[in-house]
A = this chain, B = another copy of it.
Amino acid sequence: MTASCRSLIDDKWALRIVSALGAGPHRFTELKRAIDGVSQRMLTVTLRSLERDGILTRTVYNVMPPNVSYALTPLGTALLEAATPLLAWTTEALPQIEAARLAYDRRAEEALPAR
């Protein structure tokens, strides 16, 4: 995996922004609402990084009040397609992951010296 692309995958919010934009263009506030836990600053920084990477476009509409819309580019759509199996897996695998966590915690508990 190439170093400069790795930042795209490593970025905690990048895939979620791309996933949200898969439903169509969004304004900043719409993205902020769609992605729980993201701060204003991190959304701003990540959007700029994704724009620079050619993953999305940022369009300013000079209306009153002016607004800014973000949309996936063809490269962004290709990223979303490549990421979709992984995004889907996170939903399907949840029961197995939660069962594994319970079993792990039980084993850790049993390994503790008797109180």
Contact = CB atoms under 8 A, between A and B. Distances in A.
A23 to B, nearest CB: 13
Per assembly, the copies of the chain total: 2
Interface of A: 1-2, 4-6, 8-10, 12, 15-16, 19, 51-55, 75, 78-79, 81-91, 93-94, 96-101, 103-105
Given A1-B16, A10-B12, A85-B86, 10 more contacts: A1-B19, A4-B97, A8-B97, A51-B104, A52-B101, A52-B105, A54-B99, A75-B100, A81-B85, A82-B88
29 contacts: A1-B90, A2-B90, A4-B94, A5-B93, A5-B97, A9-B86, A9-B87, A9-B90, A12-B12, A52-B100, A52-B105, A53-B97, A53-B100, A53-B101, A54-B99, A55-B100, A75-B93, A75-B96, A75-B97, A75-B100, A78-B89, A78-B93, A79-B86, A81-B85, A82-B88, A83-B86, A83-B89, A84-B85, A86-B86
